[in-house]
Amino acid sequence: MQGGPKEPKLQGASLRLAQWLRQPAHLVEAVVLLGVFAASTVIRIHFAAFLDPFEDGYQNWWISANLVQTGQYWDRHSMMTQGNWLPLYHFFAAAVLEMGGLQSMDALKDANIALSGLTALAVFLVSRERGRTIALAATGFFSFNFIDIVVSGWATAETLASLLVLVGYAMLFQTTRLTTNRIWIGSAAFALAVMTRYEAWLIVCLMTIYVVLIGSVRPRRPLLLALLPAIVLMVGYFVYSSQWGFLPSIVIRQTSTDIQYQLSVGTQPTPTTLLTRWWTGYASFFPLVLLLGGVYAVWTVKRDFGAWIVLSLWAFIVLYTVVQFGNPSYRYVVISVPFLSIFGAVGLVDALRALRGPRRFGFRSAQQTTAIACFALVLVGLTLLPSSAAFWGPGFPASVAMEPLERAGIYTSTLPLPAGKILISESPIAAYFSGYPPDRILGSRWLPDNRSQALTFLKTNVGYVIYMGVPYYRLRSLFPELQNGTSTPDFALLFDAGGIQAGTHAIFVFRVMP
């Protein structure tokens, strides 16, 4: 077999890399960067091993695993594929499961950790043109940010959306010359992003306004053309989802379901209380980076669209909570973390420049590079690492409420599923740990909304039921006697997973009697 012209090119690239690494400053830069990647990956893997504090990741597994097994794209649990959740992550996760195994939640988490690593690399490349000091600091700020550490260890869509939005931003705004390749890559990134998370819809809409109103920053026509595919996909999905209703109403109805119930029984905290808790936690995770990055975002709002992304996501969280469409979550602002990391590094260096006066702030020797890199890493350790250290051993307090669901699934895995029968599970976590094929598990939301019809369906098609005593869930609404945790003529109690004892909802496993 002939080597052809590729071998000299590879040899030339290897030679250039070796020459680059022979320079002490570059070698230090590479060592620090690899150290940041390695340490932050270990931390992410550690936290990913904890049980999730909510069920969305396992519901994503259920959707994607069913897609792999049956070729059908629908949510067997609670209809979230009918407008509530966008499809791209589920197809990405299906590809991961195809390679990693159908029952492998670890494969999904590892894939998201890899995506977070790519985002860290993108942060480094985006900020490298500002200097190695800023690039290393920004990469460290992002890599050790507790919000991204935790979120990247869940099988949810935010990590993929963050990478796509950052790549799109970098291609279209972090350059002095918009080339055709950059426009194509940026356009593709935003088109994929709007099929991943609705936050990307907000960003694309704001970007369109930004380009039109502040056209002097970048040429309007190529930027608008780059956004056109994303806009077409948004409009297309809006029309497609109309078969289930008006898209905003679909999303709001789902996100506000629990809040409306809590309001009806008088247990919902006020928006002020929720936002105070949220902002207190948010600021505690990366106080100095948030301060520097936030100030820099406000300062550059007229000339850097990244500032619009950060500020708009903050405004969204406040409005979303005040109008009681849902409770605030750090997941909803994780897209802002790479931008705040870059802005925080730039703000830090600008502050140091101001302290040094008009003299140019440059680090050209290996010793100076090492010094500033160490300074940035110490800063990261002081402001970011305490959050990871605080949760290192005990994990997430909210995960305690999920443990009865895990126990219910593990118990159910010991029960052979009768031929021709399925499992009804009101919990995606329990469904996953049952080990049953995803197409032989169904959520109770798909049961007929009539007791006699639902009972007929259960006796005909269902072997076991994993009951979750949420007041507005279908099984409790149709069969309130199950909440007592005792056998009935139609249901034999097999296992109490200890939900009530754990301070959460009743979690029981029943056999459906013939």
| Whole-Å CA distances, 75 to 7, 64, 429 | 49, 9, 14
Q: How far apart are CA 89 and CA 111, in angstroms?
A: 11
Q: Tokens for 477, please give them.
A: 């609404």
pLDDT of residue 394: 75
Per-residue tokens: 72: 């059908």
pLDDT the model gives residue 169: 95
Beta bridge partners, 495, equal: 509
What's the pTM?
0.91
| Angle subtended by helix axes 366-383 and 336-356, to nearest 10 | 120
**What is the DSSP code (8-state) at residue 177?**
S
Q: Strand pairing partners for 512?
A: 491
Can you give the pLDDT at residue 12? 55
Residues 357 and 349: their CA atoms lie apart, in Å, by 12
Separation between Cα atoms, residue 153 and residue 49, nearest integer Å? 8
What is the rounded end-to-end Cα distance, in angstroms, of the chain?
Answer: 68
Q: Are 187 and 147 a contacting pair, CB within 8 Å?
A: no
Asked if 256 contacts 325 with a C-beta cutoff of 8 angstroms, the reply is yes
Q: How many Å is the Cα radius of gyration of the chain?
A: 25
DSSP state of 483: G
Mean pLDDT, consecutive 10-residue stretches, the chain (514 aa), reads 52 56 70 92 96 96 97 94 96 97 96 98 93 88 96 97 97 85 96 98 95 73 93 97 94 90 90 95 93 93 92 96 93 96 87 57 48 58 84 87 96 96 97 96 95 96 97 95 96 96 95 94
pLDDT of residue 370: 41
What kind and span of H or E run contains 491? strand 491-496
Which pLDDT tens digit goes with each residue over 196-222? 999 999 999 999 999 888 755 567 889
Q: What is the secondary structure of 426-473 as a DSSP string? A: S-HHHHHHH---GGGEE-GGGS-SSHHHHHHHHHHHEEEEEEE--TTS
* Contact of 145 with 384, CB cutoff 8 Å: yes
CA 57, CA 428: separation in Å to the nearest integer? 9
Q: Which pair of structure tokens corresponds to residue 13?
A: 């690239």
Give whole-number Cα distances, 231 to 162, 193, 276, 282, 466, in Å: 18, 11, 35, 31, 42
What three-state secondary structure class fits 302?
coil
